[in-house]
Amino acid sequence: MKSVNELIEGYFEGSLSQDEETALKVFLASEEDQGPEYDEVRAVMGYFAAGRAVIFGNTKAITSRRSLRLREIVWRRIAAIAASLAIIITLGVSLYNKTNVCVSYVSGQKITDKEVVMNDVDNILADLLSDRTDMEEQLTGIFGE
């Protein structure tokens, strides 16, 4: 069998057989007796392998990373939209509560005190639901003739 240096030369010359190229790849992927002198060879062979994967359609790893990135982008956009909606709803409720004023007109006077208005509503409902008067009298009393 050829030495590692001969296999490297043969790889760059394009004269290796499939078995020799596989043996070189196995050697470079293993951790036995490897120093920094093989780092450049590993880098170049890795670059060629990635280019070959892109050109010949063996892009499972590249595609899965791309799809993961796209999923991440989609989830970030969904989170941003949800946060925006939460802010808008909170502002809307807050504005609604500020403008939600209880108003009652009693004998021509405008009453805006919430407790007084709610007491009046409670009294009217209690009168309507009591058996003291019949329904027609109660409605006539509220709405007039």
The pLDDT tens digits for 123-136 are 878 876 776 656 67
For the whole model, what pTM was predicted? 0.34
Q: What is the average pLDDT score of the chain?
A: 77
Bridge partner residues of 79 (DSSP):
none
- Classify residue 16 as left (phi > 0), alpha (psi -120 to 50) or beta: beta
d(CA 84, CA 140): 50
State both tokens at 19. Answer: 């078995």
